[in-house]
Structure 1
């Protein structure tokens, strides 16, 4: 009987390891995990540990007080509303910028990124002056319709819509540009109307990107501070946002209480973003099939 000896190198190589085309996986993975650990995980862990000093009962009492619950409702509720508005109008802006050629298109495209570059405090001051009861927009709204925008929840929604719009536009725009026109032409040749082509061909391909833009806009709105405090009025129980409440607790030297509110805010945000990411993956897999 003949015994065939396998090469020693083959015996030493794990059977589950697949050769990589690109070298340096271990080094880059280690750098990535270290970078994220120091910049992201370590501060979040410190926040949770600080909040843990209250104990479970103290933590629950701190995050379920009427003032904190009202701030949760204001921040998350209005951020969700602003993200929905941005999902609709951000999609329309991206559609116009991609599908139509008109004078000043490049200028409009550049203006979309203005909330990224503009300091949030400057944006808050500008919006407050514009929508104040004696402002250029606030006064006609108040005189004609009796609608007060500044220093109300409506003003917070306006500010969150302003700072969240670029996330939807810049997420949907490249996907819309890369859509192959052959699919729309094939649908039209088969007798589909423009409305049927939009909902059956275009929209399924854009939905994952639209959900991503919605999630980014929502996440930015939940944590927004500078552009909101000037137009909100900051009335506890009505227009007080969570970031402002955390700052107030810090100014009162209630470090553990502010850490508890921040931890609860982190957990709720993580759960909502996790649900949105799962929904996005499901839509992508469904569209791929």
Structure 2
């Protein structure tokens, strides 16, 4: 009888490869919900109480539209610049040994460790009309500090490490024999890069681009100093949110924050879909 019970009993589930998968998964979901999802949900719920008339007033405000367009437009331009030059920096650090390479590699991480306020003050002192570079650019008619160009410069500064550190390990793993094979088949350097190297590093480059874009959109400390914060000219959306809060305009601040959340989520979703489409093509 005992044999029959053992024979017809349900099979035991195979042990998980990761010890304690159930508790760790529960703790992970609880932590993410508490730290990430709950604050975002509270923001969305708060914004849901805004009437359509209030949304119309906020969306028709030229100051709000200007701040949003500057924040996302400058962040997109800065991320594109970082995608190009971040790839170049990563390529040099990986492929070419030269004196001082470790020092240059360490300098790349400086925006990570540097307080954002310090970075903003340093950039302002450098690009102000009486600064080292600003005094040289001013006679040429190029004004960086207290202009949208200064916003882009600050966003490029804080976003570069994301691209370099994302692309660098992938470049390390690219087999140089593939490049030699392409060269032996008659491909020139440009063809080898476009058809052999770029497809291998493109997913990581898109990841670095999206990280740099997300960081630039939410950047505050390093931008406000060099931007000058002129309404309609160099005022960024995060500063406008703080200004509305200081004016006790909680409805306006919540609405602008919700708009930024929605646009940021849409941009990151588009980048992720592009990555998925790219992986599907490579897999096919």
TM above 0.5, yes or no, is yes
C-alpha separation in 2, matches of 1:242 and 1:18: 52
**189-198 or 42-51: which moved more?**
189-198
1:194 maps to which of 178, 189, 192: 189
| Residue aligning to 2:266 | 271
> What CA distance in whole angstroms lies between the structure 2 residues aligned with 1:112 and 1:266?
29
* Equivalence for 1:153: 148
Q: Distance in 1 between matches of 2:156 and 2:132?
A: 19
- For residues 27-75 of structure 1, the C-alpha deviation after alignment (integer angstroms, 9 at most, x for no partner) is 2211111000000011111111222222233234324421111111100
Report the counterpart of residue 70 of structure 1 in structure 2.
Answer: 66
Q: What is the alpha-carbon distance in structure 2 between the residues aligned to residue 64 and residue 219 of structure 1?
A: 25
Partner-residue secondary structure (3-state), 2:27: helix
Matches within 5 A, 1:197-208: 197-208=192-203
Following superposition, the deviation at residue 18 of structure 1 comes to 7.4
Quote the residue 1:131 is aligned against: 127
* 1:103-152, Cα deviation, whole Å (9 max, x unpaired): 00000000000000000011101111110111110011111x11111000
**Alignment match of 1:258 (pick from 231, 253, 257):** 253
Q: CA deviation at 1:19?
A: 6.1
Q: How many equivalent pairs are there?
A: 280
> Are residues 1:216 and 2:211 paired?
yes
Question: Would you say 1:244 and 2:239 are equivalent positions?
Answer: yes
SS of match in other structure, 1:9: coil
Structure-1-length-normalised TM-score: 0.92
**Structure 2 residue aligned with 1:89, among 77, 85, 89?**
85
Mapped partners of 2:281, 2:16: distance in 1: 29
Task: Give me the CA root mean square deviation.
Answer: 1.6
Hey, what's the Cα distance between the residues in 1 that align with 2:242 and 2:82?
28
Cα distance between partner residues in 1 of 2:21 and 2:59 = 42
8 Å contact from structure 1 (residues 52, 59) kept in 2: no
Cα-to-partner distance string for 1:145-185 (whole Å, 9 max, x where unaligned): 11111000111110010000001100100100111122112
* 1:44 counterpart residue number: 40
> Does the aligned pair in 2 maintain the 1:249–1:258 contact within 8 Å?
yes
TM-score (norm 2): 0.94
